[in-house]
Amino acid sequence: MDFRESLLEYLPESEADALINAIDNGKPTHALLLNTKKMSDIEFIRRYPNVRKHPFVEHAYLYDKDEYEFGQSMLYQNGVYSIQDASAMMAVYFLAPEKDDIVLDICAAPGNKSIGASLAMQDQGIVISNDISYPRAKAMSQNVERMGRGNMIVASNDFVFSHVYFKNTFDKIIVDAPCSGSAMMRKDQKAREDWKIEKARSNHRKQLEILELAYDMLKEGGTISYSTCSFNYEENEATILDFKERHPEIELVDLPQSDAFYRSEQLKEAVHLFPSRFEGEGQFICLFKKPGELIKTPKTVVPNKRYEDFLAQYGLSDRSNEIMRGKFYSLSQYFDTRHLNILRYGVKLFEIRDSLIYIPDHHLCHFLNPSYSVKISKEDAMHYVHGDTFPTALADGFYIVSYDNFNLGYIKATQGIAKNHYPKGLRREWKD
């Protein structure tokens, strides 16, 4: 069975052909989600007047990559925005996480939906961004640092073994399920070459296994967002309908109506975001609820008296501040991680060696606002991100330096020289 034949199993011929035409002849789309903690929408549009507002998602913009190369800008390095597909953003938009939610993104890499949830929650509540692959989770952790997020735990767990410790724990769960990736065909020729119906059928089984784990960890009254970047029935409608047959008690959420969405006859509550209708690369999204009344987890924090002066200096005293494996972290509120293999617990503040504070971590400077920084000139900023030293009149000590109202990182002033503590892996030539 070829790709078109697979589409015709559930789509009218006109819809299938319009979708294939959009894949074959359409231009790939590009979008980003603004971190309004670092830049306002007004300022962003002033700098980039030709971006277009996302039709649904607040603080999101579509752009022409030939005009704006946002991935190369220092604003990207400073976490001013997250580059995401416009259709993929809609999974979090429909889920609508709230500030007091505990959210799990169970197979999160590359982490864009987790970042979207964290931004929507305005650094409150908790988002656990998990991926079974440790290297992929490590890359997500670096992205959390870049974006300066303070309400995210990054973990690498196989919940087949650990889900029993998290029964009825999460208010909302994001299941961005593994799939054949047909929505990547327009951007990636390899995705076209690799597509096989057997792969879609195999993914169907994996998706049901993940949904079972997620459902077990979902609170009564909680909501699961199920999404794929696939256009195939086997990975979308069939997965949800089979899951509902196993759990007839679940309540499918009827998503909003729009001409930009396609709804199949087999599952009218869910939506397909086809690039023939919606300006994005494609997404299937379905939400459903577990029966019962949702009871939110009260916010608690773990205070830390040992470093209370340091915490007070940076306005962190009302957060959950904990030492884990020789590293000092600050999270928006407490979460028990004894059964999580964590890579990051909120904001990493510093590492502890021989009971001394060494260098404050790069994540902290990206989390804090520029009021905690010392402003430097563009010339010095260019030297800084390149990894060079530069003269300074500051007294000896550690400082956060900023340019253009964005924190760049730490220096250590020593006898009139600003010694560079910008992470070596990030050093580069300055690009506006």
- Taking only the tens place, the pLDDT of each residue in 128-176 is 999 999 999 999 999 999 999 999 999 999 999 999 999 999 999 999 9
Q: Provide mean pLDDT across the span 189-204.
A: 88
User: Which token pair is 22?
Assistant: 């959009």
- CATH code: domain 369-432 is 3.10.450.720
Q: Averaged over 305-318, what is the pLDDT? A: 93
Provide DSSP, 151-182.
Answer: SEEEE---HHHHGGGGTT-EEEEEEE-----G
Band of residue 122 on the pLDDT scale cut at 50, 70, 90? very high
Report the chain's C-alpha Rg in angstroms. Answer: 23
pLDDT score for 63? 98
Closest CA relative to residue 120, chosen from 41, 36, 218, 51: 36
Which residues contact residue 162 at a Cβ distance below 8 angstroms, ignoring those fewer than 6 apart? 339, 340
> Average pLDDT for residues 41-55, to the nearest whole number?
98
353, pLDDT greater than 80: no
Give the DSSP H/E element, type plus range, for residue 406: strand 406-414
- Looking at 255-367, which runs of residues are DSSP E strands? 262-264, 267-273, 283-289, 320-324, 327-331, 342-345, 347-353, 356-357
By CB atoms closer than 10 A (0-12, 13-18, 19+), residue 338 is exposed
pLDDT of 359 over the 90 cut: no
Measured between alpha carbons, how far is 24 from 38 in angstroms, rounded to an integer?
Answer: 38
- Region 267-288: mean pLDDT is 98
Mean pLDDT of 249-257: 97
Percent of the chain with pLDDT over 90: 92
Confidence of residue 190 (pLDDT cuts 50, 70, 90): confident
CB-based contact 125:97 (threshold 8 Å): yes
| Angstrom distance (rounded) from CA 120 to CA 50 | 24
How much is the pLDDT for 193? 83
For residue 357, is pLDDT > 80? no
Q: Would you call the peptide bond into 110 cis, given omega within 30 degrees of 0 as the criterion? A: yes
What's the pLDDT band for 330 if we cut at 50, 70, 90?
very high
Record the tokens describing residue 166, joined without a space: 């998290």
* Percent residues over pLDDT 70 in the chain: 99
The predicted model gives 224-233 an average pLDDT of 97
Q: Mean pLDDT of all residues in the chain? A: 95
Go through the chain and tell me how many residues it has: 432
Contact 95, 287 (CB under 8 A): yes
The average pLDDT across 30-57 equals 98
Q: pLDDT category, 356, cuts 50, 70, 90?
A: low
